[in-house]
Amino acid sequence: MALIAGPTASGKSDLAVRLALALGEQGRKAAVINADSAQVYLDLQVLSARPDAAEMRGVDHRLFGTWDGAQPCSAGNWAQAAKREIAALHSEGAVPILVGGTGLYLRTLLDGIAPIPEIDPEIRAQIRALPQSDARRALLEEDPSAAAKLAPADNSRTARALEVVRSTGKPLNHWQKFLEGGIGDAITLHPLILLPERQLLYDRCDQRFETMLDLGAVEEVEALMARNLDPALPVMRAIGVREIAAWLGGDCTREEMIEAGKLATRQYSKRQYTWFRNQPPEDWPRTALDNNSIDVLFARLLR
C-alpha cells in the first residue's frame, strides 16, 4: 500500500494520480483512497479542493464526498471505511494509494484507536458551548498533558480532550495506551511525506483560496447555510465556511473575508507541516516535489 501525505496545497493528490496511472501502465490496478477530513464531505467539493473528474484522470477514487455534512465523520468512522476499501483492493491484487493531510486519520488507521467510552451528551454539549479560551483554561487544569500537546487555538481537539476527561474521569493519554484495530503491522507500507519549501507552500495556500472563490465557494457556503446545520459540525467549521459565512452575514467586508480565509488556510497548512515533519516514523521519507524520493517511491511500487 502506498501513502502520500502532506499539508494543504503540497501537490499530493496529483502525485497519487500519477502513481496510479504509472501502475496502470504496468497492468496493475490502483485506486486512490481519501485521507482528508474535509474531502470526505459531499458538501465541500470546492472548499476542500476535492478532485474533480478531470483531475482524477479516470483513476478510481474512493471515500471522496462519501459523507453528508449532517453526519460527522470521526477518525474511527473513516478508519473503518478505509480498512474495508483497502481489504477489497488487496483481494483484487490492486494497490491502494492513501492520500491526504489528516494525521489523526492516518494514525488511527495504522496504529488503532483508543477504546474511549461513549461521551455523555450533556457533557459534550456543555463543552462545545464554551469559548475556546475557557475550554483551553479548563483543559490546562484537568488534563495538562493533553493541553501541552495542543495548539491554544485548536478548538476541536481541545474540546475532545476535555470531554473525555470529564465524561470518563480519566485523561486522554490513559485511553491511548490501549490502541486497538490498527493495520500498520499487517500491511507493507510505502510512505512519502511531501514538505515543499514553506514560502512556496504559503503562496499556494493564498492562491488556492482566491481560486476557490472563483470556482463557487460562496455558493457552496450559501447552500450549507440554507440547511441550518449545527454550527458545531465539522463541515460547518471547515476552513472557508466560517469566513465566507461571516461576509455573507455582513460581519466583514469581502477583502477582510479573503484575508481571513488566506490566513486560516496558511495556519492550517503550517500545523500540518509541523505534524508531518515531526510525528510520522523517522524512516518515512520527507521530500519536496523536486528531489529523488518520489522516484524512489515509484520504483518500489513499479518493480
Domain tally for the chain?
A: 2
Quick one: 140 and 288 in the same domain?
A: no
β-pairing verdict for 2-5 and 95-100: parallel
The pLDDT value given to residue 153: 82
Quick one: 107 and 242 in the same domain?
A: yes
Quick one: 282 and 188 in the same domain?
A: yes
Residue 117: name the closest of 68, 77, 79, 172 by CA: 172
Range of the domain at 210: 2-114+179-302
Quick one: 110 and 141 in the same domain?
A: no
Q: What SS3 state is found at 170?
A: coil
Quick one: 102 and 220 in the same domain?
A: yes
Domain closes at, from 148, 178, 208: 178
Quick one: 205 and 282 in the same domain?
A: yes
User: Is the predicted pLDDT of residue 58 greater than 90, yes or no?
Assistant: yes
Quick one: 17 and 64 in the same domain?
A: yes
Quick one: 199 and 219 in the same domain?
A: yes
What's the pLDDT tens digit per position in 43-57?
A: 999 999 999 999 999
Task: Produce one character per residue of 31-51: b if its CB has 16 or more CB atoms within 10 Å, e if not.
Answer: bbbbbbbbbbbebbbbbbbbb
Task: Produce one character per residue of 258-296: b if its CB has 16 or more CB atoms within 10 Å, e if not.
Answer: bebbbebbbebbbbbbebbeeebeeeebebbbeeebbee
Instruction: Give the bridge partners for 3, in sequence order.
Output: 98, 191
Domain closes at, from 178, 209, 227: 178
CATH number where 142 lies: 1.10.20.140
Quick one: 287 and 139 in the same domain?
A: no
The pLDDT value given to residue 301: 73
The share of the chain scoring above pLDDT 70, in percent, equals 98
What's the pLDDT tens digit per position in 188-232?
A: 999 999 999 999 999 999 999 999 999 999 999 999 999 999 998
Mean per-residue pLDDT, 1-7: 94
Measured between alpha carbons, how far is residue 154 from residues 62, 81, 90, 147, 150 in Å? 28, 26, 36, 10, 6
Given a contact cutoff of 8 angstroms between Cβ atoms, the answer to whether 102 and 36 are in contact is yes
The pLDDT value given to residue 262: 97
Mean per-residue pLDDT, 4-15: 93
Dihedral of alpha carbons 280, 73, 229, 255, sign: positive
Mean per-residue pLDDT, 169-180: 90
Quick one: 226 and 297 in the same domain?
A: yes
What's the pLDDT tens digit per position in 113-144?
A: 988 898 999 999 999 899 999 999 999 999 99
Quick one: 209 and 195 in the same domain?
A: yes
Quick one: 106 and 142 in the same domain?
A: no
The pLDDT value given to residue 300: 74
CATH number where 85 lies: 3.40.50.300
Domain closes at, from 134, 157, 178: 178
